[in-house]
Amino acid sequence: MPVYNNYISVPRFKRIGYHIKSTRTISTTSVFNLESGEMIMPSLSRRKFAQKSKSESAKSSKSSLKSSPDSAIDLKIESPPLVLYGPPKESSGALLSGLIHIDNEQGKEWESFTMTLLAETLNKRPVHGACSDCATQVDVINRWTFISATTTASARRDLLLSYPFSYLLPGHLPASNDNALSRISYTLVARAIAADGDEVQFKKSITVERSILPGPDRHSVRVFPPTTLSATLKLPSVVHTGSDFAIDVRLDGILNKAKNTRWRLRKVNWRIDENSKAVSPACKYHSAKLGGAGKGVAHEDIRTVGFGDIKTGWKSDFESADGKIELEIMAGIPAHTKAACQLDAANGSTVEHILVVEMIVAEEHKPAGPSRLVTPTGAARVLRMQFKLVVTARSGLGISWDEEAPPMYENVPAAPPSYGIPDSRTSFSYAAIPPPLAQMLNGV
């Protein structure tokens, strides 16, 4: 089955529907689609769900909120996209700020209004397949209380219930990530309870990115004993998913003058492997499966997110002292592979990328002198090299909140010279205009 074209030919909802049919044994209200990592709901359970009381369905379904015209929560994020700049140990974090309001046209009285920022980790290989507690771990990152028992009664009935909120996301937090084994996502969940018992909920997922800023190119040298061959590679310091990057390769020491032999490059293969690791913890009901509480199962997954080969297009120089071969490899991570960015989370989820370059060289014999007779000796070698790649999100503006310096009072320059106001009683004359502008108008 073609994996990459599947979602193009088959509409998304049909795929989920097919998935539900195949998992009839799961009868809980929430099922995780392990392939896409999304929470899906079996059609049977959804029907049952709709029959529940209105207030109950409002608790867990966002769509039902729209059908209730009484009151609704809305949220506007005013801060720029959340990007944590630099590695976790150095990052100064990202600012989140916005405005949240309850549509309170009917002047209802609200008893409580809170919002939480949740970090959700979904294990795609949970200890117990059908257990949502095993599959998902939720951490509360921050909590805001807008209306509580201490809020004055009149403020709770305001027609315009609007509250600003802000939070500095710590730099050590893992960025949103979706890899082969785990998915880390962030959600803002707001909840308001009215005095008459009505409850409204609001959910908004937010994306947190980590961007490691590009530095100078990396130069790596690899030697291949017992031959005299050595390879020098120039790699970019960071790469991004969905884009190409160039690798400059130089192969030195290809001539062996004592034996009258030389190495000729035949083919170059490259590939980028994504190595994901995750620890799936067990919930309290299934910890017995692992022989006690506080244990988890470690998983590892390696998949290729980019590959290619080159058969021509390099430059062989057999004339210099020990000869050299130069070439440029255009490598890249196509967007359709949905590669994850580099990750090192505190819960054991990690994602790393390795670039593997293989150069196949064959030895040939060329006698000294004017003879043009070149014969292959039959010897060949695969020069295999591995490099760690830093796959990170694009940096955008590339300025973190603490380096963003708004202009201070003293930075504002003196105002430009005034243009002088022509006297309304006299006719307009160029004399009223300061010299530079008047010169411009005169074409001087």
Residue (132 or 228) nearer to Zn ion, CB: 132
Residues binding Zn ion: number (CB under 5 A): 6
* Nearer to Zn ion among residue 111 and residue 133 (C-beta): 133
Closest CA to 301 of 332, 341, 273: 273
Nearest to 46 by CA among 27, 65, 33: 27
61-69, 186-194, 284-292, 339-347 -> range binding Zn ion (CB under 5 A): 284-292
Near Zn ion in 285-344, by CB under 5 A:
286
Give buried/exposed letters for 411-428 (b at 16+ CB in 10 A, else e).
eeeeeeeeeeeeeeeeee
Using rule CB under 5 A, residue 96 touches Zn ion: no
- Piece in contact with Zn ion (CB under 5 A), picked from 52-60, 131-139, 164-172, 250-258: 131-139
The mark string for 218-247 relative to Zn ion (x by CB under 5 A, - otherwise) is: ------------------------------
* Contact pick of 73, 134, 229, 247 for Zn ion (by CB under 5 A): 134
Contact segment (CB under 5 A) with Zn ion among 120-128, 157-165, 234-242, 335-343 equals: 120-128
Find all residues with CB under 8 Å of 95, minimum gap 6, and list them. 79, 166, 167, 168, 169, 401
Residue 129 or 434: the one with the smaller Cβ distance to Zn ion is 129
Min dist. Cβ of residue 126 to Zn ion (A): 7
Helix, strand or coil for residue 155?
helix
How far apart, in whole angstroms, are the C-alpha atoms of residue 245 and residue 332? 6
Using rule CB under 5 A, residue 249 touches Zn ion: no
Span of 9-17, 84-92, 121-129, 341-349 interacting with Zn ion by CB under 5 A: 121-129
Nearer to Zn ion, 114 or 287 (CB): 287
Partner residues linked to 304 by β-bridges: 273
Establish if 131 lies at the interface with Zn ion (CB under 5 A). Answer: yes
Does residue 133 interact with Zn ion by CB under 5 A?
yes
Distance CA 33, CA 81 (A): 28
Q: How far is the CB of 285 from Zn ion (least distance, A)?
A: 5
Site string for Zn ion, 155-194 (x = CB under 5 A): ----------------------------------------
Q: Is 125 in the site for Zn ion (CB under 5 A)?
A: no
Give the pairing type, strands 208-211 and 82-85: parallel
Phi and psi, residue 110, nearest 5°: -110, 135
- For 360, half-sphere exposure in the C-beta direction (CA atoms, 13 angstrom radius) is 10
Q: Which residue number places its CB atom closest to Zn ion?
A: 131
Q: Cα–Cα distances in Å, from 119 out to 44, 91, 187?
A: 29, 18, 7
128 binds Zn ion per the rule CB under 5 A: yes
Nearer to Zn ion, 134 or 247 (CB): 134
What x/- string results for residues 388 through 407 when contact with Zn ion is judged by CB under 5 A? --------------------
* Ramachandran class of 194: left when φ > 0, alpha when ψ lies in -120 to 50, beta otherwise: beta
Question: Would you say 292 or 443 has its CB closer to Zn ion?
Answer: 292
Alpha carbon distance 233, 217 (integer Å): 10
- Quick one: which H or E segment has residue 325? strand 324-332
Q: Which of residues 58, 190, 278, 283 is near Zn ion by CB under 5 A?
A: 283
Closer by beta carbon to Zn ion, 250 or else 286: 286
- Residue 333's alpha-carbon distances to 272, 330, 337, in angstroms, are 8, 10, 7
Please name the residue that has the structure tokens 């990750």.
Answer: 343
Which CB atom, from 59 or from 128, has the smaller least distance to Zn ion?
Answer: 128
Question: Rule CB under 5 A: is residue 15 a binding residue for Zn ion?
Answer: no
Report in angstroms how near the CB of residue 296 gets to Zn ion at its nearest. 12
- Compare residues 134 and 147 and give the one whose CB is closer to Zn ion: 134
Nearer to Zn ion, 281 or 332 (CB): 281
Bridge partners of 302, per DSSP, are 275
Q: Rg (Cα) of the chain, in Å, rounded?
A: 32
Q: Please, which residue, 236 or 348, has the CB nearer to Zn ion? A: 348
CA separation for the pair 61, 193 (Å, rounded): 16
Are residues 245 and 331 in contact, defined by beta-carbon separation less than 8 angstroms?
yes
CB of 40 to Zn ion, least distance (A): 18
Binding residues vs Zn ion (CB under 5 A): 128, 131, 133-134, 283, 286
